[in-house]
């Protein structure tokens, strides 16, 4: 009991803080979809690190890079392996690697880190190859993957270290890579390999212990009035030089180079003359350390000026668990690089260097600019022609003074809980003709958050658990043509459809889901992917359900009231965002000593004949301050005509449907037989209720504070012990007291499995799936150790 009390106090302390910190409303996913066994998974025994992916829609393949293996998987069903090519390290390499102090299994293997599309059916593949990175061509023909014979030095193209972050992009036949250039990982480089190889200068003002995250090409030469060049953008985090801080402070950056750059003539020869970088701002409203960019996705628009980079950020401090998403307009970044002020180092006392805004004269052509019409007018057609002054300036001043502001001036999404690891964005054409960017955000516990922005407000449509056990999602790829999302982790690769409209069973649920992929098909009466031809109901911005067909009023279920018993009336809303309201004879019920309202339903303690009457459960969901109320369940409690038998259950649970003979939802606590309501029991009950209350308060507080439960054990065992092919099992990890609720189905036709432990110490070996109280405590123990 004491750990609980401690937790209660602990959470209580945090409560005011957490409440003031955020309006957590918009970070709660409307639905939580737990792991489903029919999830399409690919993994092979003994193979790990499925962390590199390449979608080849042209070949109908998902190319998957893992430890010492490259797979060609069916793009429609990745559990179908079409071919594999193994690429193990040689014994010699392995020996050399281990003799250099690296771990034989976790480091001295060939971890595939780069997969790039080449011509036709060829892929350019790089692996760490026991800390001696190597690249090779792999071709797919006649259903078979074949590894080429010609091995290429992979230094600078691929990291030595399998766990080091890095990025690369193939532009034409030139590979742009950002990684470390040596065994120790001490020499970062942004490299373009090929005939006109270029690299960054090794100095801290260029790259200061960077962590590379993402690279992509923006075709800025398209219809460019300034005659500008295509650019490769690079996202990374690094040690800041521009802040005075007691310790190393990380900042997020966007950098870029010009595709046409060929280096300088007398200085910066073989080096980028166009490397510029700026801080990426994605700051929270309250003061905090700069957040760290983890992954980026470029949502391309046919007009490149409208292309947008979406980036996920996690906090720098381990004390925080707020992940954010920010979006940046390509043209905003470009404008900052093209016209912004530079930062310059200034030596202050005893040689300390401070970075301040450079206010002196900036040489012409502008340092860091690509060769554009302005440069051509000065008869400079290649970067080799650039004057030394410009080159010397850019060599010393690669950093811009200002930060790149996020698209809306603030983060698009702020969410507590499991850290975001990666994201992809799909551009969805909705029924109203508008395009919506739908974000799929992978988390460190194996969930995908599906989120969309409506009129500046972020809305998480759902969260989907991709792995049975919490697995940090390492990579995600999107195939719009097949409507699939692929995620990779150390454990395996999984596939998930971008939408599963069938999950929404009522029109109200379908419309309030505000999923741009889905609409309520009035003709067939199901929620399905929107197609223009049929008549659909969809209201993304407002959640307007007025066009939904009127639903029939529910018929009350009759139940018998046994005085002295505790009665549970289950009611589970469709949405984590909905609030449950209970009415007794038309009057609202509030949680108190008599009634306890929790997420799974209503608990009537020590029922008496006064409690007989009609009970109504309403789900109230707000969309844009419009309130939608829906009656979820109606019960009629009728006083018992006969006196209860000896050995009455201490609690009665009713269900919408008739309990099955072995329905575990009917609680039969294995208490000693014939406990005959003695004092002992009553005292025990009171204590239990007290314990429960403390626990609930604690959990609510903790929940609010954390935003989302991050209990590995609870999710693991909870999900793992679901019986049978349960469909759409819903379990929010965000709303109140959820950990105490059992897994339950929102489907009225399914059995409700509801259970509350009054004992609170998990001493009862309950049979069946209802072991959630144990999980709950496991969770608490987990967190209290933090």
Report the C-alpha gap between 621 and 82 in whole angstroms. Answer: 46
Listed in sequence order, the residues at least 6 apart from 512 whose beta carbon sits closer than 8 Å to its beta carbon are 30, 543, 545, 574, 575, 621, 623, 628
Region class of 483: left (phi > 0), else alpha (psi between -120 and 50), else beta: left
Based on CB atoms, which residue is closest to another protein, 242 or 490?
242
User: How many CB atoms within 10 Å of residue 781?
Assistant: 14
Backbone angles phi, psi at 280, to 5 degrees: -100, 125
Report the C-alpha gap between 217 and 307 in whole angstroms. Answer: 11
Positive or negative, the Cα torsion across 529, 534, 540, 546?
negative
Q: Binding of another protein at residue 717 (CB under 8 A)?
A: no
Backbone angles phi, psi at 497, to 5 degrees: -70, 150
Q: Which of 99, 223, 532, 658 binds another protein (CB under 8 A)?
A: 99
Based on CB atoms, which residue is closest to another protein, 151 or 346?
346
Helices then strands (H, E): number in the chain? 9, 45
Q: Binding of another protein at residue 353 (CB under 8 A)?
A: yes
Report the C-alpha gap between 46 and 219 in whole angstroms. Answer: 42
Q: Which of 86, 90, 106, 204 binds another protein (CB under 8 A)?
A: 204
Query: CB of 184: closest distance to another protein in angstroms?
Result: 5
Based on CB atoms, which residue is closest to another protein, 107 or 621?
107
- Taking residues 276 to 305 in sequence order and writing x for each that binds another protein by CB under 8 A, - otherwise, the string is ------------------------------
Q: Binding of another protein at residue 183 (CB under 8 A)?
A: yes
Rg (CA), the chain: 30
Q: Which of 150, 195, 352, 546 binds another protein (CB under 8 A)?
A: 352
Looking only at residues 114 through 143 of this chain, which bind another protein when binding is defined by CB under 8 A? 131
Report the C-alpha gap between 629 and 480 in whole angstroms. Answer: 35
Query: CB of 197: closest distance to another protein in angstroms?
Result: 13
Based on CB atoms, which residue is closest to another protein, 14 or 183?
183
Three-class secondary structure of residue 377 per DSSP: helix
Q: Binding of another protein at residue 363 (CB under 8 A)?
A: no
- Closest among 288, 276, 284 to 326, alpha carbons compared: 284
Query: CB of 262: closest distance to another protein in angstroms?
Result: 14
Q: Binding of another protein at residue 182 (CB under 8 A)?
A: yes
Q: Which of 79, 137, 197, 265 binds another protein (CB under 8 A)?
A: 265
Query: CB of 236: closest distance to another protein in angstroms?
Result: 14
Q: Which stretch binds another protein (CB under 8 A): 65-73, 382-390, 459-467, 576-584?
A: 382-390
Q: Binding of another protein at residue 38 (CB under 8 A)?
A: no
Listed in sequence order, the residues at least 6 apart from 611 whose beta carbon sits closer than 8 Å to its beta carbon are 561, 567, 584, 604, 637
Q: Which of 32, 395, 495, 565 binds another protein (CB under 8 A)?
A: 395
- Taking residues 520 to 559 in sequence order and writing x for each that binds another protein by CB under 8 A, - otherwise, the string is ----------------------------------------
Based on CB atoms, which residue is closest to another protein, 202 or 457?
202
Q: Which stretch binds another protein (CB under 8 A): 39-47, 192-200, 391-399, 549-557?
A: 391-399
Residues 701, 702, 708, 714: what is their CA dihedral angle, to the nearest 10 degrees?
-130
3-state helix, strand, coil in the chain (%, to 5): 15, 35, 50
Kindly state the tokens that stand for 153. 């030095």
Based on CB atoms, which residue is closest to another protein, 267 or 560?
267
Kindly state the tokens that stand for 44. 């092979």
CB-hemisphere CA count at 13 Å for 131? 22
Q: Which residue has the tokens 């957490």?
A: 18
Q: Which of 83, 164, 197, 208 binds another protein (CB under 8 A)?
A: 208
Q: Binding of another protein at residue 396 (CB under 8 A)?
A: yes
- Closest among 170, 205, 331, 329 to 277, alpha carbons compared: 205
* Number of residues binding to another protein, judged by CB under 8 A: 34
Q: Binding of another protein at residue 364 (CB under 8 A)?
A: no
Q: Binding of another protein at residue 186 (CB under 8 A)?
A: yes
Three-class secondary structure of residue 774 per DSSP: helix
Q: Which of 81, 103, 120, 203 binds another protein (CB under 8 A)?
A: 203
Q: Binding of another protein at residue 387 (CB under 8 A)?
A: yes
Q: Binding of another protein at residue 267 (CB under 8 A)?
A: yes
Query: CB of 249: closest distance to another protein in angstroms?
Result: 14
Q: Binding of another protein at residue 388 (CB under 8 A)?
A: yes
Q: Which of 152, 174, 187, 544 binds another protein (CB under 8 A)?
A: 187
Q: Which of 392, 591, 745, 784 binds another protein (CB under 8 A)?
A: 392
Kindly state the tokens that stand for 768. 């069946």
- Taking residues 312 to 351 in sequence order and writing x for each that binds another protein by CB under 8 A, - otherwise, the string is ---------------------------------x-x--xx
Based on CB atoms, which residue is closest to another protein, 1 or 378?
378
8 Å CB contact between 258 and 274: yes
Q: Which of 174, 209, 490, 636 binds another protein (CB under 8 A)?
A: 209
Query: CB of 416: closest distance to another protein in angstroms?
Result: 32
Query: CB of 136: closest distance to another protein in angstroms?
Result: 21
8 Å CB contact between 712 and 470: yes
Q: Which of 1, 6, 103, 202 binds another protein (CB under 8 A)?
A: 202
Listed in sequence order, the residues at least 6 apart from 451 whose beta carbon sits closer than 8 Å to its beta carbon are 325, 413, 438, 439, 441, 458, 459, 460, 461
Q: Which of 81, 103, 144, 266 binds another protein (CB under 8 A)?
A: 266
DSSP strand pairing (557-561 vs 626-639): parallel
Q: Which residue has the tokens 């009350």?
A: 556
Query: CB of 105: closest distance to another protein in angstroms?
Result: 17
Based on CB atoms, which residue is closest to another protein, 161 or 230?
161
Q: Binding of another protein at residue 106 (CB under 8 A)?
A: no
- Closest among 153, 152, 157, 235 to 199, alpha carbons compared: 157
Q: Binding of another protein at residue 185 (CB under 8 A)?
A: yes
Q: Binding of another protein at residue 449 (CB under 8 A)?
A: no
Listed in sequence order, the residues at least 6 apart from 302 whose beta carbon sits closer than 8 Å to its beta carbon are none
Question: What are all long-range contacts of 499-502, with beta carbons under 8 Å and residues at least 24 apart?
Answer: 499/529, 500/33, 501/526, 501/527, 501/528, 501/529, 502/526, 502/527, 502/528
Region class of 77: left (phi > 0), else alpha (psi between -120 and 50), else beta: beta
Q: Binding of another protein at residue 100 (CB under 8 A)?
A: yes
Q: Which of 90, 196, 269, 558 binds another protein (CB under 8 A)?
A: 269
Query: CB of 350: closest distance to another protein in angstroms?
Result: 4
- Closest among 448, 476, 442, 453 to 463, alpha carbons compared: 448
Q: Which stretch binds another protein (CB under 8 A): 40-48, 94-102, 140-148, 752-760?
A: 94-102
- Closest among 680, 653, 677, 678 to 664, alpha carbons compared: 653
Q: Which residue has the tokens 């905003």?
A: 332
Binding stretches for another protein (CB under 8 A): 99-102, 131, 182-187, 202-205, 208-209, 265-269, 345, 347, 350-353, 387-389, 392, 395-396
């Amino acid at each position: 009991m004491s750990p609980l009390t401690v937790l209660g106090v602990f959470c209580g302390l945090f409560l005011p803080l957490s409440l003031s910190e955020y309006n957590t409303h918009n970070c709660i996913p409307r639905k939580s979809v737990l792991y489903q066994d029919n999830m399409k998974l690919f993994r092979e025994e003994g193979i790990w690190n499925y962390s590199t992916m390449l979608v080849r829609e042209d070949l109908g393949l998902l190319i998957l890079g893992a430890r010492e293996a490259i797979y060609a998987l069916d793009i429609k069903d990745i559990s179908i392996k079409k071919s594999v090519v193994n690429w193990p390290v040689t014994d010699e390499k392995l020996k050399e690697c281990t003799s250099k102090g690296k771990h034989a299994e976790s480091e001295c293997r060939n971890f595939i880190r780069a997969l790039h599309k080449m011509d036709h059916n060829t892929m350019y593949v790089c692996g760490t190859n026991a800390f001696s990175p190597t690249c090779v061509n792999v071709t797919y023909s006649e259903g078979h993957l074949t590894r080429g014979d010609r091995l290429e030095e992979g230094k600078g193209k691929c990291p030595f270290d399998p766990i080091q972050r890095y990025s690369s992009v193939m532009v034409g036949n030139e590979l742009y890579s950002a990684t470390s250039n040596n065994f120790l990982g001490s020499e970062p480089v942004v490299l373009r390999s090929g005939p006109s190889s270029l690299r960054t200068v090794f100095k801290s003002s260029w790259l200061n212990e960077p962590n590379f995250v993402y690279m992509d090409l923006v075709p800025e030469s398209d219809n460019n009035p300034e005659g500008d060049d295509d650019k490769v953008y690079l996202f990374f985090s690094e040690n800041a030089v521009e802040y005075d801080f007691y310790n190393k402070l990380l900042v997020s950056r966007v950098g870029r180079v010009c595709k046409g750059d060929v280096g300088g003539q007398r200085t910066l020869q073989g080096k980028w003359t166009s490397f510029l970088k700026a801080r990426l701002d994605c700051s929270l409203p309250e003061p905090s350390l700069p957040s760290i960019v983890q992954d980026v996705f470029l949502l391309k628009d046919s007009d490149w000026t409208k292309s947008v980079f979406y980036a996920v950020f996690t906090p720098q401090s381990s004390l925080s668990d707020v992940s954010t998403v920010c979006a940046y307009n390509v043209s905003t970044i470009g404008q900052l690089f093209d016209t912004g002020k530079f930062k310059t180092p200034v030596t202050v006392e005893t040689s300390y260097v401070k970075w301040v805004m450079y206010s002196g004269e900036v040489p012409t052509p502008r340092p860091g600019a690509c060769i554009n019409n302005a440069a051509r007018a000065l008869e400079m057609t290649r970067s080799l022609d650039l004057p030394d002054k410009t080159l010397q300036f850019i060599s010393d001043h690669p950093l811009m003074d200002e930060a790149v502001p996020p698209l809306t001036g603030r983060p698009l999404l702020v969410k507590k809980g499991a850290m975001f690891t990666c994201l992809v964005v799909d551009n969805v054409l909705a029924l109203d003709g508008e395009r919506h960017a739908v974000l799929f955000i992978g988390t460190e516990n194996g969930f995908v958050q599906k989120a969309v922005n409506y009129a500046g407000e972020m809305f998480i449509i759902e969260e989907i658990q991709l792995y049975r056990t919490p697995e940090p999602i390492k990579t995600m790829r999107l195939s719009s043509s097949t409507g699939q999302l692929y995620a990779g982790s150390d454990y395996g690769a999984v596939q998930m459809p971008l939408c599963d409209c069938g999950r929404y069973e009522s029109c109200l649920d379908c419309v309030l889901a505000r999923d741009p992929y889905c609409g309520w098909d009035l003709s067939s009466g199901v929620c399905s992917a929107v197609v223009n031809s049929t008549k659909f109901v969809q209201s993304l911005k407002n959640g307007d359900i007025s066009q939904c067909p009127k639903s029939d009023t529910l018929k009350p279920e009759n139940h018998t009231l046994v005085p002295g018993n505790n009665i549970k009336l289950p009611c589970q809303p469709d949405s984590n965002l909905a609030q449950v309201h209970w009415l007794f004879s038309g009057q609202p019920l509030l949680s108190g000593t008599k009634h306890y309202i929790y997420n799974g339903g209503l608990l009537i303690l020590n029922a008496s004949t006064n409690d007989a009457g009609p009970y109504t459960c309403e789900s109230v969901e707000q969309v844009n301050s419009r309130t939608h109320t829906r009656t979820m369940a109606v019960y009629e409690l009728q006083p018992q005509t006969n006196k209860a038998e000896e050995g009455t259950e201490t609690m009665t649970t009713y269900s919408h449907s008739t309990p099955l003979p072995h329905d575990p939802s009917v609680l039969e606590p294995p208490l000693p037989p014939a406990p005959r309501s003695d004092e002992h029991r009553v005292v025990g009950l009171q204590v239990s209720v007290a314990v429960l209350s403390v626990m609930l308060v604690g959990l609510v507080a903790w929940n609010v504070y954390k935003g989302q439960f991050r209990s590995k054990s609870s999710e693991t065992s909870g999900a793992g012990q679901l019986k049978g092919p349960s469909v759409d099992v819903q379990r929010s990890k965000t709303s109140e007291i959820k950990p105490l609720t059992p897994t339950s189905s929102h489907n009225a036709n399914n059995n409700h499995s509801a259970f509350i432990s009054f004992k609170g110490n998990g001493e009862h070996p309950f049979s069946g799936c209802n072991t959630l109280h144990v999980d709950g405590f496991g969770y608490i123990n987990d967190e209290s150790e933090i």
